Amino acid sequence: MAKHQGHHKVAVIGGAGYAGGELLRLLAQHPCVELGMAVSESHSGKKLAEAFPGLRTPIVFERFDAARIIGECSLAFFAQESGFAMEHAEQLLAAGVKIVDLSADFRLRDPAVFQQWYKIEHRCPGLLERAVYGLPELHRDRISTAQLVANHGCYPTASVLALAPLLETRMIIPDSIVIDAKSGVSGAGRAKHTLDYHFPEMNESVRAYGVGGTHRHTPEIEQQASEIWESSITLSFTPHLMPMTRGLLATVYAKLVSPRTTAELIALYAARYNGEPFIVLHDEGFPATKVCCGANHCHIGIAVDDRTQRVTVVSVIDNLVKGAAGQAIQNMNLMLGLPETSGLEHGALWP
């Protein structure tokens, strides 16, 4: 694949949405990667700054052109709605272009489950087995050799990172898992125009949605939890919309198999995530969404209720960074043989 002055060229497809815009922002400061193409059908011919005024670049959005991507780029990010990547992935992969897909097209391994939750038929089910789930803290080795990575959902990222050490050590009763999660409004994407997302409707208000096990991220969380447990897990997950732009906080509850102390579980998480560049453990207190705004970190706090022997894990990410674009770049770094933290070393915006 073509490179520019020793750098990899990449394409961002669906660049006018929030996740695509965050990709463009992060790629602009990446030391080893050059943006080769930014694709947006709705903004074709317009400068990136017309969609994102903070991006100072002469690059203009283009229409999707597979031949150009194949001729110029090492890797393509798909940041479109579900259904687009599955239409074009096979052509790019056959030509040697690696793919990080930020939609849900390749996250679920069973095409029937995908159709059940996303209401469209999967048009290239043969790629599902080839796709590697893009959570480096669980699948780093496979991501490093992958051609196709299915970038996670934002809620599954926070939830699975909170649960993994407990599931791996079988310290909890799996059917006791309850996930109560809250996200900023940017998680809904830029194209949402229903009343629920208007400022007067959402400001100073908190709303549960996808209640009763109906949110599309439910099977994704269950799939990852079941793979860790090596047996099927069904859990309860309820998301909430918060009156803020960015941030996601998942509060995860589970019943312990046998009595444990908070100190024991903090030690467990410290051992499991030792050396992980983007996991921050809190020995005391619990993280707020502000601590990771704009950064690719996941902050985790743990406590045991001695009365009930339930463990509570609070996991916080920026839904657009570790929950989407930042982790996509983390995956890209692994796929291209670059240092995993390249372009992601910056801290959070504070205050």
* Catalytic residue set: 154
Across 174-190, b (16+ Cβ under 10 Å) vs e yields beebebbbbbbbbbbee
Domain boundaries, the chain: 3-130, 155-320
CATH number assigned to the domain covering 3-130: 3.40.50.720
Question: Considering the chain, what is the average pLDDT of its residues?
Answer: 95
User: What's the rounded Cα separation, in Å, for the pair 44 and 217?
Assistant: 31
Are the folds of 3-130 and 155-320 the same?
no
User: What's the rounded Cα separation, in Å, for the pair 313 and 159?
Assistant: 9
pLDDT tens-digit profile of 68-80? 999 999 999 999 9
CATH number assigned to the domain covering 155-320: 3.30.360.10
Number of other residues whose CB lies within 10 A of the CB of residue 59: 16
What six digits make up the tokens of 62?
């283009």
Q: Which of 21, 119, 35 is nearest to 74 (CA)?
A: 35
pLDDT tens-digit profile of 104-119? 999 999 999 999 999 9
Q: Computed from CA positions of residues 168, 171, 172, 178, in that sequence, does the dihedral angle turn out positive or negative?
A: negative
Number of other residues whose CB lies within 10 A of the CB of residue 166: 26
User: What's the rounded Cα separation, in Å, for the pair 85 and 68?
Assistant: 16
Helix axes of 18-27 and 326-335: crossing angle, nearest 10 degrees: 50
User: Do 254 and 230 meet the contact criterion of CB atoms below 8 Å apart?
Assistant: no
Distance, CA of 96 to chain centre: 24
pLDDT tens-digit profile of 301-332? 999 999 999 999 999 999 999 999 999 999 99
pTM: 0.96
